[in-house]
Structure 1
Amino acid sequence: MSELRQVIIVRRKKKGGHGHHGGAWKVAYADFVTAMMAFFLVMWLVGAGTKQQRAAISEYFKNPSLTQGQSTMAPSGKMGPGGASTSMIKLGGAMDLPKGPGDQQAFAKPATAADVDKLAKEKEHRRLEQLMKDLSEAIAKSQAMAPYKDQLLLDITSEGLRIQIVDKQNRPMFDTGSGALKSYTVQILHELAGFINQVPNQISISGHTDNAPYIRADSAYGNWELSADRANAARRTLVDGGMSPEKVARVVGLAASVPFDKTNPSAPINRRISIVVMTHEAAKAAMSPEVAGNDADASPQAPSSTAQMTHVRSMNPPAAPAPSSPAMTAMTPAQAPR
C-alpha cells in the first residue's frame, strides 16, 4: 500500500506597498518653509538696519495704531497713544486709509485759497531775504562800494526789502539844497539797479530831508518839493542803471515827516533815499485808489516784529553813535541842512 503524502498549501498574502496618507504633509512642509524664509528675512533686516531703524521697527510692533484705542496695556509711542484701535474699519480699500500724520491732514481737508496765499507769501519772503543776503555780500566784496558801506542800510519790513541810502557828515548824497546826485550816489544806484531787476517785485522810492527849513527865491519850493525831486532823481538813475521802468510803483517825497532819528531831527541820517522792494500785497495797496501806502508804517524807529536790520559797515571805524539810535552806530549828526 503506497504511502499517502499530505500536501500542505501555504497561501501568502502579498502586501501592495504603503497606504495612502493624503497631502497634509505638503501643507505642513510649505508652512515650515515659509516660516523659515520669514525668519531669515527678519534676521537679515535686523542685522542690516541701523540702531534707529531697529528702534522704529520695535516701536511699530509695540504701537501699530495711529488712533487712540482701548487696551489693558497701552505702551507709549511716537505714532500714537497705543492700544487696539476702536475706530470703524473702512471698507473702501487701502487707499482710504491715511499713511501718516501729514496724509491724515490731507485727507481731512483740501488746500484752500488761504493756504495757497500763505505759501505764496512765504515763498516771496524767502526770495526777498535771499536778495538781501546777495546784496549784502556783493556790497561787502565790492572795492568800489567800500567807502559807502556805512551809508547803505538793508532790512525787511512789512512792505518788503528796504534799501536806504543815507547822508553822512561830509559825504552827502545830493548837492546842497538840490536834487542833483553826487557821482558816487549815481554809482551806488547803478549797482543796486542790477540786483533789484533780479526779482519780479515792484519798488517804492521815497525821499526824506531833515527838519531844517529850506527857503529859496521861489517861496513855493520847500522840503516837500526837494524830497520829491530827490526821489524822482533816484528813480531816473536806477532806470539808467538798467532797472526796468515798469518796476516803479510809487515815488513820493516825505520831507521831514518821517525822521530816522526822532530825537535829533537835524541829523544827517534823516536825509535819505528809501527804496522798498515791495511784496505783492504792498504793491497792490500802493497802486490801489482806495488804499494809500504810508512810509511811516515802516519807520526805522518802529520796525515790525519780523524786521531784521542788516547794517553794512565800512572797513573804517565808525563815528560815535547817537544816544537814541544804537542800531546806526556809523552815523553822526551834521549842522548844515541839506
Structure 2
Amino acid sequence: MRKSSRRRRGGKAHANQERWLITYADLITLLLIFFVVLYAMSQIDIKKYETLSKALQMQFNDADSLIEKGSGILDGNMDDPDKFPTPPPTASSEPSPSSGEDRNQEQELQDLLKIIREYVKDYHLEDEVFVVDTPQGISIRLSDRFLFDLGRADLKKPSLPILNRLSSLFDKLSTTISIQGHTDNLPIQPGGLFQDNWGLSTGRALSVLRYFVDVKKLEEKKFEVAGYADTRPVAPNDKEADRQKNRRVEILVLRRE
C-alpha cells in the first residue's frame, strides 16, 4: 500500500505544465490567416483609383464646377479628355503689374542718365558734375566748389543753370530723390556758421533741397535729405585733389525696391 501511494504522488509531480502553448500557437495561426485574407481583399483597383484621381483633380482645378453638371465619378465618361478643363496658367507665367512698372521706371532712369550726360558734355561741366549709374540709382555728384563758397551753404549763381535743368527732369519722375551732403575730413575753421562737418554737410544738402522745393516748386514728398560729413568718402583724404572729390552734394535718384 505504501508503494502504491508513493507512485501516485510521484506521477503528479511529472504533469505537463506547457499545454497553454498549443492554444497560443493556434491563436497566432488564426491571426495570420485573418491578415492574409484582409490583404487579399484589399488589392487596389488601378482603374477605379485613376478615375477617382481625375475626378478630384477636376474639382480642385475648377472651383466653379457643380456636381449636378454630371462630370463626376459615376458618369462613365471620365476617360473623355474634353471633360477636364485645362488648368489656368500660373501667376509666374503672366506679367505682373509691378514688373511693368519696374520696366517703365528703369527706362525713365536710363533716359535721365542720358540727358544729364549730354548736358554736362554740352556745357563742359565734366570737372564739376559726375553722373554714374549705381545699384541704388542714378548718382549725380556736384562739386562743392561749383555750388558753394568755402565753409558756406549758400548756392552760387553759376550752379543755378544745372539745378534748373535737374528740376525740370525731376518734376517728371515718380521715384524718390535723395540729396546727400558730404565733406572731407578737415575740421571746420572757428568763427564760421557751422560748428563741424556734420552741420556743414547737412546745411548744404538742405540748400539744394530748398531750391528745388521753394524756388522750383517741386513736391516735397519726392525728396529726402541727409548729411554724412566725412563718413562716406569716394577717395582717400590724404591729398587735396582727393579731398576735393569728397566735398560734394550727391543727388541720388533711387530705384524702387
TM-score range, shorter chain: 0.5 to 0.7
| Secondary structure at the counterpart of residue 262 of structure 1 | coil
Shift of 1:158: 2.9
Preserved CA contact (<8 Å) 1:186 1:237: no
In structure 1, what residue type is equivalent to 2:107? R
Q: Which residue of 2 aligns with 1:201?
A: 175
Say if 2:146 and 2:158, in contact at 8 Å, map to a contact too. no
Taking only the aligned residue pairs, the percentage that are identical comes to 27
The alpha-carbon distance between structure 1 residues 256 and 239, as it changes in their structure 2 partners (threshold 3 A), is same
Q: 1:261 to 1:218 in 2, by over 3 A?
A: closer
SS in 1 for 2:211: helix
Counterpart for residue 134 of structure 1: 115
AA aligned to 1:272 is R
| 1:161 partner letter | I
1:91 aligned residue: 82
Corresponding residue number in structure 2 for 1:154: 131
Matches within 5 A, 1:113-262: 115-141=96-122, 145-146=123-124, 148-167=125-144, 171-217=145-191, 221-240=195-214, 242-262=216-236
Distance 2:174 2:96 in 1: 22
Q: Whole-Å Cα distance in 1 between the matches of residues 80 and 113 of structure 2?
A: 53
Alignment partner of 1:278 is 2:254: yes
Q: TM-score, normalised by structure 1?
A: 0.46
What does 1:300-311 align with in structure 2 at a 5 Å threshold?
none
For residue 126 of structure 2, give the secondary structure of its aligned residue in structure 1: helix
Residues 105-127 of structure 1, C-alpha deviation per residue, up to 9 Å, x if partnerless? x9541358995434433332222
CA distance in 1, matches of 2:194, 2:160: 28
Task: Compute the displacement of 1:262 (Å).
Answer: 2.9
SS in 1 for 2:147: coil
Q: Deviations over 1:227-275 (max 9, x none)?
A: 1111111112223552513244311111111011036475211010111
CA separation in 1, counterparts of 2:96 and 2:159?
42
Alpha-carbon shift at residue 138 of structure 1 (Å): 3.3
Distance 1:140 1:92, change over 3 A: farther
- Counterpart CA distance in 2 for 1:127 and 1:220 is 38
The 3-state SS of whatever aligns with 1:280 is: coil
Answer yes or no: is the 8 Å Cα contact 2:175–2:222 preserved in 1.
Answer: no
Question: Residues 120, 172 of structure 1: CA spacing in aligned structure 2 closer, same or farther, 3 A cutoff?
Answer: closer
The change in CA–CA distance for 1:92 and 1:247 in structure 2 (over 3 A counts) is same
SS at match of 1:231: helix
1:219 Cα deviation after fit: 9.7
Q: In the alignment, residue 179 of structure 1 is paired with which amino acid?
A: A
Displacement of 1:198 = 1.8
- CA drift at 1:157: 2.3
- TM-score norm. by structure 2 comes to 0.59
Q: 1:219 to 1:140 in 2, by over 3 A?
A: closer
Q: For residue 101 of structure 1, what is the aligned residue in structure 2?
A: none
CA separation of 1:261 and 1:234: change in aligned 2, threshold 3 A: same
Greater helix proportion: 2
Q: Following TM superposition, by how much is the alpha carbon of 1:205 offset from its aligned partner in structure 2, in angstroms?
A: 0.5
Distance change in 2, residues 1:90/1:107 (3 Å): same
Corresponding residue pairs, total: 177
Does the CA-based 8 Å contact 1:166-1:271 persist in structure 2?
Answer: yes
- CA–CA separation in structure 1 for the residues paired with 2:194 and 2:156: 25
